[in-house]
Every structure is written in C-alpha cells, then in structure tokens.
Chains A and B, each alone.
Chain A
Amino acid sequence: MAPSSADIPASFVINGSRHALTIPPWMTLLDLLREHLHLTGSKKGCDHGQCGACTVLVDGIRLNSCLILAVSRDGADITTIEGLERDGDLHPLQTAFVEHDAFQCGYCTPGQICSAAGLLSERHAHNRAEIRENMSGNLCRCGAYTNIADAIEDVMAQDAAAREAAE
C-alpha cells in the first residue's frame, strides 16, 4: 500500500450492516460513527480516552473509539449502543440499567453499557470489587456508580444462573 493522505477505502460491519466507505486517515472511529453514519449513541465526552463515553465493541472487545483512527480497524465488526438490542428486545444490561436507575442525565450511559458488555464477555470480574475496578474507565459525573455496579452485578448473576442451568 503506497503512502496516501487521500481518502482511503475501508469497510466495516457496524451493528450487523456492512459499510464500504472511503475515509480520511485522520478520522477517528468515533467521528466516523457520529458524524458520517449518524450513530450518535456513542458520545464524545473528553475526546482523549479519559471518560469512556465513546466506548464501543470492536470485534467484541471494548475500546475507546475516540482514540482509534478508523482506517486502522479496516474490516472490523463494530457494535455500538444502537446495535445491542436483539429482535426489538433490550439487551439485559439495558433492562438492568433501567430497573436499577443506573443513570441520571444519561450522557455516559451508552459507554457504560458497552463497557459493561465487554466486561461480561471478558469474564475477569467475579465480584463487586472487580466490577468496580473493571468499570473504572467509565466516568459518571452524576455519580450513579452504586446503581451502575448494581445493574452489572444483576446481569452477571443472571448470566451465571443461565450457565448453571445449561450445564
């Protein structure tokens, strides 16, 4: 691939839909999602990887989309908050955030939920202290942390019960 400062072809599967695009190399994944694909669920909080509001799942792994040059993830499968629901039903984390009142203003919530989805699939957190430690990359200025941890703990228990029933 010859050096190029011109727009570069890149394709992504975003929330299940394939997008073949031509984008400038300096465009972040967050700007691609928000400004070009109008998926405004992912939020630009600090734009420096400090707040976690931009967290999305890239090939199933949670990342800060504000610090990723989109072209560097050419070919990736990306899930944003808009793509977490299944067949019209909320993702269990979305339901749990509602039930546990895990937000006030809601600005950090898409990042919190995508991050929590990543946390659950990683299976490295097994108790409340580990949930808190493994959610420290998502800030909430309303201070809903207690209820956010409750919501995640709830879904983690649901997942564990489902795994036990399957065995």
Chain B
Amino acid sequence: MNRFDYVRPDNVSDAIRALATGSSKVLAGGTNLVDLMKYDVERPGRIVDINRLPLKEITPTAEGGLRIGALVSNTDLAWNDDIRRQYPLLASAILAGASPQLRNAATTGGNLLQRTRCYYFYDPSTACNKRDPGTGCSAIGGVNRIHAILGASPDCIAVHPSDMCVALAALNASVDVEGPDGKRSIPFSDFHRLPGSEPQRDNTMSSGELITAVVLPPSDFGANYTYLKIRDRLSYAFALVSVAVGLTLKADAIDEARVALGGVAHKPWRDTAAEELLRGQRPDTQLFLKFADQVLTPAHGQGENNFKIELARRAMVRALHQAFAGTPQDQSVKSVQ
C-alpha cells in the first residue's frame, strides 16, 4: 500500500475542502478502497476519512419516501424496519450480496462507488482502460466469462458489481451529492454511466463531490417484487446475472413494471420502453418472454460470456413469475421456485 496523508473531518464542508486536493480518496467502510490500495490499483495521495460525518440516519421525506444517509451500513439498511416494510426489494438485494462481515462495514454511498471486479482491472501488470486510460482492454478477447452483454464499448466490457444498486435502479432512487459548487440530486439512472470512450469514469459525479444520501421515492412494490441472483456458488459471489422486479397490479393485470438487471452491464440495466410492453397486460410466460427478448435485442456476447444472454432471458421470465405470484426469492434457502 502506498503512503498517504490522512485527514478525518467532522463535517461535510470540511470534508469537501479536504477533497479538493488532486489525488484524494474518500474512506468510508473501506471494503473496496483498502483492497484496491493493497493491489496498487488505487494510490491516493490523501485519504479523507468521512466516518465521523453525521450521515448515518434513515429519515422520512416530505414526499413519503426515505432518505438514507451515505454512511448507513449495508447491514443497518437491510434490517431497518421501514426499509423492510416499504422497500423489501432493497433489503433482499442487499442480503444477496457480499458476506455479513462486509455488509457490516460497507456503506450506502460506498456501495454505489465500488469498482468493477474485472480481473484485469485488478491486475496492474495488464492493460486496462479503466485503470490506465489508453492502454487497451485485456478482457476483450481475453478471459471474459463475467463481463458485459449490454452497453459495452470497444474500450471496456466491465460490469458494475453491486446488488444493492440494481434494486435502487428499479426503485427510481436518486443520489444527493455535495461539492465545491453546492448540492445537487442525480436520478439513479443517470448516476452510473456506460463506459463509452471514458471507462475510467464509473459515474457522473464531478471531481470533489461527495455522496451525502440516497433518496427513495414512495414505493408500491412492497407485495410484488423479487431479487433473483444467479451466480457460480450459492453465497458470497458476484452475480453472473441478477434481476430486480417490482410490479403493481390492477384487476389481475400488470399496472406498473420495473425490471433492472445486474451483472450484465457497466451500470444497472433498465429498459423502460420494454417495461411499457407489460403495462395493462395479463401476466403469462409468453408475455414475459416477449419482454425479455426486447430487453436483450441489443445484447452481444464476448465469447466466454455468451451464455449470459440466455441466462438473462430465463432469469427475467422466472423473476417476473416470482414477483407476480408474490413469492420473492428467499436469500437463505437458495432453490429457485
């Protein structure tokens, strides 16, 4: 690990001032940053430890939603009574990820900012446009079983690794950030970005900005939801494909459908045009297949990950059935019904 300056501000203004220095990095739970520093992938000149900032509360919003402070741990969020009652999809997605020890340390803001687990990104001896822009992408034509089937670019085929963010995308969350130019709110769909020609940029935050909260709008997805995660082992593994579904029903038909995919792209993947296909329809397998095929129309395999296209298709159909039936995937008993 490289040597660095360390500063531990007590309030957001001081944290933003401390972040103004070029190679500063924010330390919250540290579960990803400290790991990347051990691999020399991250070499910050300064660590701004934000653990003493007052960002640990979950509070109701005037609109009837919830505001989650950036430092709320993944564990505290998943087991919060209001979250479990109003946003069980979010609780389920969080508990599908990582291990209890990691969830105890990892924070809400940090989960959004975690980096890809692409093998090449983690290995400084290889070319990687995300780690070292302009050096090339070793995953294209390389070992790419875990890589993207949607939204990739000739410069990067990495995927975003989060489970929590897939649920947040389906729930139309927004991200409150604060920086030298003040505060702003970023819709979740605009927060993470596709790699394009700048894969080093994971998200649309500006330099020096800090996540202060994630805001959830009121949700009607407390009854018909699921988070279905398909992976190489039953626990403590990143998703090959995951699906977050929230449905509202009206007289045996789907009123509103939200479907987000994880493990398939550089950001949680939503296709709101395809979701419109489901509106007003009586749910059955044919309808779900039609939806899945539309979502996967632009899908493109990289060789070793071609199987993900069919896996995503089947996972979407299965998850839509689970959500419609009101039988969400259990995150302890892993058999898929």
Contact = CB atoms under 8 A, between A and B. Distances in A.
B189 to A, nearest CB: 30
A148 interface: no
Nearest to B49: A72
Using C-beta atoms within 8 Å of the partner chain, give the interface range for chain B: 20 to 34
Interface in B44-92: 46-47, 49, 51, 79
A25 interface: yes
Interface stretch (A32-40, A44-52, A82-90): A44-52
A72 B27 contact: yes
Contacts of A26: 1-4, 37
B235 A68 contact: no
A36 B113 CA distance: 32
Interface residues of A, number: 36
A67 B277 CA distance: 45
A67 B3 contact: no
Interface stretch (A99-107, A114-122, A150-158): A114-122
B8 interface: yes
Contact of A71 (B1, B49, B236): B49
Interface string A1-22: 1111100100000000000000
Contacts of B8: 1, 71-72
B4 A137 contact: no
A48 B100 contact: no
Most chain-B Cβ atoms within 10 A of its Cβ — which of A2, A4, A64, A71?
Answer: A64
A137 B47 contact: no
A68 B34 contact: yes
A62 B51 contact: no
Contact of A3 (B46, B101, B102): B46
B238 to A, nearest CB: 12
Contact of A25 (B6, B99, B105, B235): B6
B101 A129 contact: no
Given A48-B35, A61-B104, A136 B236 contact: yes
User: Sorted from nearest, which 7 A-B pairs have the closest CB atoms?
Assistant: A137-B99, A25-B6, A136-B235, A3-B5, A136-B236, A133-B332, A3-B7
Interface of A: 1-5, 8, 25-26, 28, 47-49, 52, 55, 61-64, 67-69, 71-72, 115, 118-119, 122, 124, 129-130, 132-134, 136-138
